[in-house]
Amino acid sequence: MTALTNADILAVSEELSYTKHESSLLATEEVAFCASVAAEEASLEIDRRRYAIAFGDDANYYELTAAGSAVFSATLGAVRTVHEAFIQVVKPKSALVIGFPWAAVRMLASTDGCQIDVANSIHLDYFERFGGAEGFDYSVVTMQNLRGGALPRQYDVIFAQMSWVAGDDDLLEYLYAGLSPKGVLLLNSSHDQGAVFIHGAAHPYAETFTKLSQFEGANVYQIPVGIGATVVTKA
């Protein structure tokens, strides 16, 4: 694994975001995938919007993506540009994905020799039934094991949807302990449409950011791009 430096992060981010300003992932493929998920959820009268803080969480991500909104697609592309920049810099040999696997697995698969573990969830089920998962090599780990501290290996990069880890101090400790030296924890959808900055300490995510900053050797960076990205590096 390549050690992360601020100079490297900035250089790669500028290259990707200023010259391309979009993720390398194909929006048309994701729209088709999400349309299948949204159709199934509609047939089952599932509406996850009731359970989310904002659209950036588990909520109606599938519905919004399936609608093909140019604004929402650009938002996703912006934050994924940041993710891809970190992957190019870190060049991980091991990675864990908690939350939406469709994009993260594709981005990580571009790194030669990266061993990918994906947490079991309804999102993994959707990925395997509608998202072309058969084209990728990954292993599955249960959320029960992760919450019990039974991580199968140390990871160079962990992708986690904020809504899956926020407020779970034990899980946060296990994930941070499971990072390799110089490893990176990437929290996606972590700014709640900017509400984190509006409400400050009163926002439900504030305690999670405080907890992360207290880990030994941790550096926490807020990247206000797209639907929000929080980057935690381990010394």
Decide if 132 is inside a domain: yes
Tell me, yes or no, whether 217 lies in a domain.
yes
Residue pair 1/62 in contact (Cβ under 8 Å)? The answer is: no
Global pTM?
A: 0.85
Q: How confident is the model at residue 70 (pLDDT cuts 50, 70, 90)?
A: confident
Alpha-carbon distances, residue 163 vs 97, 129, 205, 224, 230 (angstroms): 13, 23, 9, 17, 13
- For residue 97, the SS3 value is strand
With a cut of 90, say whether residue 177 has pLDDT above it.
Answer: yes
pLDDT at 18: 44
Q: Is residue 176, in this structure, part of any structural domain at all?
A: yes
Any domain includes 59:
yes
In a domain, 31, yes or no: yes
Residue 194 — pLDDT band, cuts 50, 70, 90? confident
Residue 212 lies in a domain: yes
Tens digit of each residue's pLDDT (9 = 90 or more) over 199-220? 888 888 899 999 999 999 999 9
pLDDT digits (tens, 9 = 90+) for 35-55: 999 899 889 887 765 554 443
Quote the number of domains for the chain.
Answer: 1
* Token pair in block for residue 22: 């979009």
Question: In whole angstroms, what is the distance from residue 44 CA to residue 40 CA?
Answer: 6
Q: How confident is the model at residue 11 (pLDDT cuts 50, 70, 90)?
A: low
Mean pLDDT of 62-88: 80
Instruction: Decide if 225 is inside a domain.
Output: yes
| Region for 185 from its dihedrals, namely left if φ exceeds 0, alpha if ψ lies in -120 to 50, beta otherwise | beta
Q: Is residue 1 part of a domain?
A: no
Helix segments in the chain, DSSP class H: 6-19, 27-43, 61-66, 70-90, 101-109, 122-130, 143-147, 162-165, 169-177, 195-199, 206-213
Q: For residue 227, what are the domain limits?
A: 6-234
Overall average pLDDT of the 192-203 stretch: 82
Looking up residue 208, the CATH number of its domain turns out to be: 3.40.50.150
Q: Is 117 helix (H, G, I), strand (E, B) or coil?
A: strand
